[in-house]
Amino acid sequence: MSDPMLEKLIRFQHPGRVLGFGRPLTDQTLASIFGTDEETYRATLSDIEAQRANAVNALAADPAVHADLLSVPFARGAHIAAIGESTTADRLSWFEILRTLLDAERPDLELRFDNLAITGATTTQVLAGLPAIRRQSADWVFCMLGSNDSQRFDSADGPQLVTRAETLRNLRELRARSLPDETSRWVWVTPTPVDESLVADFTFFRIAGITWTNADLSDLSRAFSELTDDLVIDSAPAAAATGDDPAFIEDGVHPSIAIQAALASRVLAALGERALR
């Protein structure tokens, strides 16, 4: 059985995205960064990938998902990128599940995926990294940001890490400056809700004096439709579609793989619906 803390670190952290100026990181180097040996690192990574494969297999067996796979609007050879924070950086994220699903079920499309999400990033930090996004020259960019901006200090009515006005300004600038030309497509994915009880009980958040509220996240999500006329995919229903499975991991902020899989399905369906219009 893998160490839960090590698994969480490997699941959400991608040192190579933060140290982009460095040479490619080997498994040995990554294992050292995570404070483990190479064999344990690889075994933990394999366990995470097996979880993702199981989620993908379950989605692929769903007739509705199969139908949506046939109507995705991606051209053959399209380059698809995602910018975001931990919910997207997660190796079990909706984007990684979508990538794995499309690679397995629609190899004829020969799609190329790049996940640029960085755990803990605010919209300000992502905007500061705009040159790296522009270098991708992606045909499609999915943007799921704002959860970290919505973090509050001390209490539910304490100051936000990034003011709402600044968050919206950053998102508009990202949309205006990230795409190579007018033929590229942009898709907004709203931040997922949180489990406020789990957030309040999580030791690290209590010690750090930080919290999140669903009121803030809902308010931000409503504002996405006012930013541009691009497709906006509401993540909230995915959080209610997990059945008996846990919706969040122990911190109450990070979605479980059940939410991630439901969101991947929701994204796929929304793309199909837009393509049919």
Distance between CA atoms of 271 and 255, rounded to whole angstroms? 22
Q: Which pLDDT band holds residue 25 (cuts at 50, 70, 90)?
A: confident
Q: Which fold has domain 4-276?
A: Rossmann fold (3.40.50)
Question: What are the sequence ranges of the domains in the chain?
Answer: 4-276
Please give the average per-residue pLDDT across 153-169, as a whole number: 96
For the residues 93-121, what does the mean pLDDT come to? 97
Say if residues 170 and 198 touch (Cβ distance below 8 Å). Answer: no
Q: Assess whether pLDDT exceeds 70 at residue 277.
A: no
CB of 147 closer than 8 Å to CB of 191: yes
pLDDT (0 to 100) of residue 22: 65
Statement: residue 75 has pLDDT above 60: yes
Rounded average pLDDT over 139-162: 97
- Average pLDDT (96-121) is 97
pLDDT at 220 > cutoff 90? yes
167 and 146 Cβ atoms separated by less than 8 Å: yes
Question: Which amino acid would we find at residue 196?
Answer: E
What one-character DSSP code corresponds to residue 245? S
Point out which residues pair with 233 in neighbouring strands: 189
- How much is the pTM? 0.94
Q: Edge-to-edge strands of the sheet including 112-115?
A: 112-115, 79-84, 140-144, 185-189, 231-233
Which residues are registered as beta bridge partners of 255? 248
* Residue found under tokens 């040192």: 15
At 181, is the pLDDT very low, low, confident or very high (cuts 50, 70, 90)?
A: confident
Residue 218 has pLDDT above 60, yes or no: yes
What six digits make up the tokens of 216? 């803030």
Burial of 82 (0-12, 13-18, 19+ CB in 10 A): buried
Quick one: average pLDDT of 52-79? 96
- pLDDT the model gives residue 1: 45
Phi first, then psi: what are they for 6, rounded to 5°?
-65, -45
Strand partners, 211: 152
Could you give the angle at which helices 164-177 and 214-227 cross, rounded to 10 degrees? 40
Mean of pLDDT over the chain: 93
Q: Are 174 and 117 in contact (CB under 8 A)?
A: no
What's residue 275's pLDDT?
53
Residue located via tokens 């049919």: 276
